[in-house]
Chain A
Amino acid sequence: MPLAEPAVVVDRLVMKYGDKLAVNSLSLQVDRGTITSVLGPNGAGKTTTLETCEGYRRPMSGSVRVLGLDPQKDRRALLPRIGVMLQSGGAWSGVRAMEMLDHIAKLHANPLDTGMLSERLGLADCGRTPYRRLSGGQQQRLGLAMALVGRPEVVFVDEPTAGMDPHARRTTWDLLQEMRADGVTVVLTTHHMDEAERLSDMVHIIDHGRVIASGTPEALTSSNHKATLRMVLPLLPDGALQGLSAILGPDLEVSPIDDARVQALGPADSGTLAAVARWYEHHEVLPFSLTLGQRTLEDVFLELTGREMEA
Chain B
Amino acid sequence: MSTGTFTPDPGGAPLGRQVMAQAGMEARLILRNGEQLLLAVVIPVVVLLGGIVASKRIDLNLSERPIDLLAPGVLALAIMSTAFTSTAIATGFERRYGVIKRLGASPLPRHGLLLGKVLALLVVEAFQIVVVAALALSLGWDPSVSILGVLLASVLGTAAFGALGLLVAGLLRAEATLAFANLVYLLLMVGGAVVIPVDEYGALGQVVRWLPSGALGESMREALIHGSPAWIPLLVLVGWAAVGAALTARTFRWE
Interface residues of A (CB under 8 A from B): 1, 54-56, 76, 79-82, 84, 86, 88-95, 99, 103-104, 106-110, 112, 116, 146, 148, 150-153, 178-179, 181-184
Question: B18 touching A94 by the CB < 8 A rule?
Answer: no
Task: Identify the stretch in B44-52, B91-99, B152-160 within 8 Å (CB) of chain A at 4 or more residues.
Answer: B91-99
Question: B105 touching A82 by the CB < 8 A rule?
Answer: yes
Minimal Cβ-Cβ distance residue in B for A179: B6
Question: A89 touching B97 by the CB < 8 A rule?
Answer: yes
Q: A81-B11, A151-B10, A182-B5 are in contact. List 8 more A-B contacts (CB 8 A).
A: A55-B105, A76-B109, A89-B101, A103-B25, A106-B17, A110-B9, A151-B9, A183-B1
Residues of chain B in range 1-45 having any CB-CB distance to chain A below 8 Å: 1, 4-14, 17-18, 21-22, 25, 29, 32-33
Minimal Cβ-Cβ distance residue in A for B20: A106
A142 to chain B, nearest CB (A): 11
Question: Given contacts A86-B102, A89-B98, are A178 and B4 in contact (CB under 8 A)?
Answer: yes
Question: B7 touching A183 by the CB < 8 A rule?
Answer: yes
Cα separation A129 to B7 with both chains bound (whole Å): 29
Question: Given contacts A80-B11, A178-B4, A182-B5, are A106 and B102 in contact (CB under 8 A)?
Answer: no
Interface residues of B (CB under 8 A from A): 1, 4-14, 17-18, 21-22, 25, 29, 32-33, 93-94, 97-99, 101-102, 104-109, 255
Question: A90 touching B10 by the CB < 8 A rule?
Answer: no
Cα separation A109 to B9 with both chains bound (whole Å): 8
Question: B99 touching A92 by the CB < 8 A rule?
Answer: yes
In the complex, which residues of chain A have a beta carbon less than 8 angstroms from the beta carbon of B6? 112, 148, 151, 178-179, 182-184
Minimal Cβ-Cβ distance residue in A for B3: A182
Question: B33 touching A80 by the CB < 8 A rule?
Answer: no
Cα separation A119 to B100 with both chains bound (whole Å): 27
Cα separation A61 to B108 with both chains bound (whole Å): 28
- 25 of the cross-chain contacts (CB-CB < 8 Å) are A79-B12, A79-B105, A79-B106, A79-B107, A80-B12, A82-B105, A86-B102, A89-B101, A89-B102, A91-B98, A92-B94, A104-B106, A109-B9, A109-B11, A109-B14, A110-B10, A110-B11, A112-B6, A150-B106, A151-B7, A152-B10, A153-B10, A178-B4, A179-B6, A184-B8
Question: B102 touching A84 by the CB < 8 A rule?
Answer: yes
B214 to chain A, nearest CB (A): 34
In the complex, which residues of chain B have a beta carbon less than 8 angstroms from the beta carbon of A79? 12, 105-107
In the complex, which residues of chain A have a beta carbon less than 8 angstroms from the beta carbon of B25? 95, 99, 103
A98 to chain B, nearest CB (A): 13
Question: Given contacts A112-B5, A148-B6, are A106 and B29 in contact (CB under 8 A)?
Answer: no
In the complex, which residues of chain A have a beta carbon less than 8 angstroms from the beta carbon of B107? 79-80, 107-108, 150
Question: A108 touching B97 by the CB < 8 A rule?
Answer: no
Cα separation A153 to B5 with both chains bound (whole Å): 13
Question: B7 touching A182 by the CB < 8 A rule?
Answer: yes
In the complex, which residues of chain A have a beta carbon less than 8 angstroms from the beta carbon of B105? 54-56, 79, 82, 84, 86
Cα separation A79 to B113 with both chains bound (whole Å): 15
In the complex, which residues of chain A have a beta carbon less than 8 angstroms from the beta carbon of B21? 103, 106-107
Cα separation A108 to B11 with both chains bound (whole Å): 6
Minimal Cβ-Cβ distance residue in B for A89: B98
Question: B97 touching A92 by the CB < 8 A rule?
Answer: yes
In the complex, which residues of chain A have a beta carbon less than 8 angstroms from the beta carbon of B106? 79, 104, 107, 150
Question: Given contacts A112-B5, A182-B4, are A91 and B102 in contact (CB under 8 A)?
Answer: yes
The residue in B7, B29, B93, B105 that gathers the most chain A C-beta atoms within 10 A of its C-beta is B105
A301 to chain B, nearest CB (A): 30
